[in-house]
Amino acid sequence: MKVIKRNGSEVDFDLEKIISAITKANKAAIRQELTPAQIEEIAEYINFKCTKMNRAISVEEMQDMVENQIMAQGAFNVARCYVKYRYTRFLVRKSNTTDDRILSLIECNNEEVMQENSNKDPIINSVQRDYMAGEVSRDLTRRILLPEDVVKADKEGIIHFHDSDYFAQHMHNCDLVNLEDMLQNGTVISETYIDKPHSFSTACNIATQIIAQVASNQYGGQSISLSHLAPFIQISREKIRKEVLDDAATMGQSPSEEILTQIVEKRLKKEIEKGVQTIQYQVITLMTTNGQAPFLTVFMYLNEAKNEQEKADLALIIEEMLHQRIQGVKNEEGIWITPAFPKLIYVLEEDNIYEDTKYFYLTELAARCTAKRMVPDYISEKKMKELKEGNCFPVMGCRSALTPWKDESGNYQFYGRFNQGVVTINLVDVALSSGGNFDKFWKIFDERLALCFKALMIRHNRLKGTLSDAAPILWQYGALARLKKGEPIDKLLYGGYSTISLGYAGLCECVKYMTGKSHTDPTAKPFALEVMQHMNDVCNIWKEETTIGFGIYGSPIESTTYKFAKCLQQRFGIIEGVTDKGYITNSYHVNVTEPIDAFTKLKFESEFQSLSTGGAISYVEVPNMQDNIPAVISVIQFIYDNIMYAELNTKSDYCQVCGYDGEIQIIEEDGKLIWECPHCHNRDQNMLNVARRTCGYIGTQFWNQGRTQEIKERVLHL
């Protein structure tokens, strides 16, 4: 059994330390009220309680137990001494809250930080540097920048104030990069003017430079559209055609139009391959200032093309992108594996969804890619248009979605827009705090929402007054805007141009506690929908009061799922079906352990997704589908007709020790979950390539214990 120290590192549980601490408090009391036998009895009870939790516990949890047990023995003077000692140590820690955590992460024994982000390797210097800066920023945020009630609620898991390690800086969350503007009208990178590219491959190269610059000036995900690269196919085609004709003239030849076209298209295909490869490999190998590859989403939407020729050219890019992703990338052993980024989104449309449609071959290719590499995700053009005023556009990062917005000319605009930040409400805590009383539930719910509003406005006000000079690539050179030097970004924060997100988590457990049933039960579902609708109603009120674009966001909560679960257990104990796991369920999702088929799950969750206006994603867990592509296509076609945004979760693992390429398993040992190769029993994470989609995106650097338990307990839906 492990204990998590305050600096985040894990140590073995030590019964003697508890006995020693109580003994010291006993001696410091006015009179010794506890016998050695009683002290040992308390320690043994703590050992029993910790073992029953079946997870690592924090020092503070353990000390709370000790304090309670001392008082249960009637030794109140001893309890006072113990509390006084804790408070004295608290004051010492408060004077400097960062040193221990920074030192522990540098020495790579801070378990909490090491498993915070499944796409960051905490051993790498650049990651450590980012984490060090993050610890300082988080400390400043908690001590100075946030009010005490928000800090307290965040610490207790009542809400989660996302990305506090970046809050000290004037940075936003995620965005849709206006790549079209930057490529067509030029941009500036590192004080160097970049003109409109004269070929597709050059456009791809410039795009990767833009991606790296954007990633270093924000903390969330960014999305680009391949349609913004499609016009450069024709530019390359014309350039290649001229070169071929010049070469033919030099040799005194005059090829027929048919031969000329064949040569041009063959060379063009090679250029497309080169350009796509640039995007794929540059994005994976680029290291941004936060120590990881850019969190990039690539949007593949045929109907975004401006004409039929551009659409056909866009199809060529999409086809090559899918081919290269199916192949994967080589690891250090030269084995083809699944990369985490870029994330791909493929739009399902009338002309690619059925077998007799023109671009169905791309959907077949996408299905093969999903079966092999877990991407792309799928957006239904039909369903999105129903929900987004007739528009179809990419999400930001893994799921954050903009609301429709029109410029002064009445034209919808999506690229160049962004999200200001997220604060998530723990719905499970609302339910448990109400004790199951519905009147009390709605009262507490409104109080918590008011606290979220306060925290969200703090995020908003932190961005107010930010000058465009803070991130020229974003605010001055076209990624998000073309403001003047020294101009504040304030006008972009109002009127719905940018969004700000009220996240939510644990609807499943919330409903389970309040009704005694899963929210998939027809009698419990109305309450679940009422909770979702209430958040929408409140956000609409906030929007009217502030003119800020509030949206409901199905939070990914990668590491927060574990934090929320631990906090709930501390506050309310173990409640079957509610707090008895090391995680709570993301957003509106059906619990991962609940048996349900893929089609029923997607249809059920579609009702909740439509109420999650600021972004959400649904998934189905499937076995190895590489030999059953028709079944994958059946799910894809169901997505097109029934739900706006969904994905299929497959497995894609490799053991570097024995060469096993099946599913790496999760086993339990001494209360801890461990990844192990089922063939050679290798447990060295440095010698295992494991890829799992956990929060809408693929993680490859392993996960904390709560998320690992959630992955282990997933049932198949197909």
Catalytic residue numbers read 173-174, 396, 398, 400, 419, 553, 558, 696
**R_g of the chain, CA atoms, integer Å:** 27
DSSP string over 564-632: HHHHHHHHH---TTTTSSS---BTTPPPTTS---HHHHHHHHHHHHTT-TT---EEEE----TT-HHHH
The rounded distance, in Å, linking the Cα atoms of 31 and 52 is 34
Report the run of H or E that residue 234 belongs to, with start and end. Answer: helix 231-250
Contact (Cβ atoms closer than 8 angstroms) between residue 160 and residue 319:
no
DSSP letters for 88-148: HHHHHHHH-SSHHHHHHHHTT-BHHHHTS-TT--TTSHHHHHHHHHHHHHHHHIIIIIS-H
State both tokens at 667.
């086993």
Give CA torsion, residues 316, 321, 327, 328, to 10 deg: 170
Q: In terms of C-beta density within 10 A (0-12 exposed, 13-18 middle, 19 or more buried), how is residue 284 classed?
A: middle
Q: H helices then E strands: how many in the chain?
A: 24, 24
Residues ≥6 apart with Cβ < 8 Å to 110:
7, 8, 9, 101, 104, 122
- Tokens (6 digits) for 686: 């440095």
Exposure pattern of 665-694 as b/e (b: 16+ CB <10 Å)? eeeeeebebebbbeeeebeeeeebbbbbbb
Select from 525, 677, 480, 506 the least CA-distant residue to 592.
Answer: 506
Half-sphere exposure of 523 (CA within 13 A, CB side): 5
| SS3 letters across 671-712 | CEEEEECCCCCCCCHHHEECCEECCCCEECCCCCHHHHHHHH
For 218, residues 6+ apart whose C-beta sits below 8 A from its C-beta are 171, 172, 173, 174, 175, 418, 471, 474
Structure tokens of 32? 């010794």
Is residue 502 a contact partner of residue 160, using CB atoms and an 8 Å limit? Answer: no
Bridge partners (DSSP) listed for residue 620: 648
By C-alpha distance, which of 356, 396, 384, 404 is closest to 639? 384
The first and second tokens of residue 114, run together, are: 């090491």
3-state class (DSSP) for residue 499: strand
What is the C-alpha end-to-end distance of the chain, expressed in Å?
Answer: 36
CA angle 510, 512, 517 (to 5 degrees): 150
- Residues in Cβ contact with 552 at an 8 Å cutoff, skipping those fewer than 6 apart: 501, 502, 504, 532, 535, 536, 539, 611, 612, 613, 614
Q: Who's near 621: CB < 8 A, 6+ residues apart?
A: 592, 649, 714, 715, 716, 717, 718
- What is the distance between the alpha carbons of residues 556 and 421, in angstroms, rounded to a whole number? 13
Judged on CB neighbours under 10 Å (0-12, 13-18, 19+), 651 is middle
Which residue type is seen at 226? L
Residue pointed to by tokens 């299905």: 367
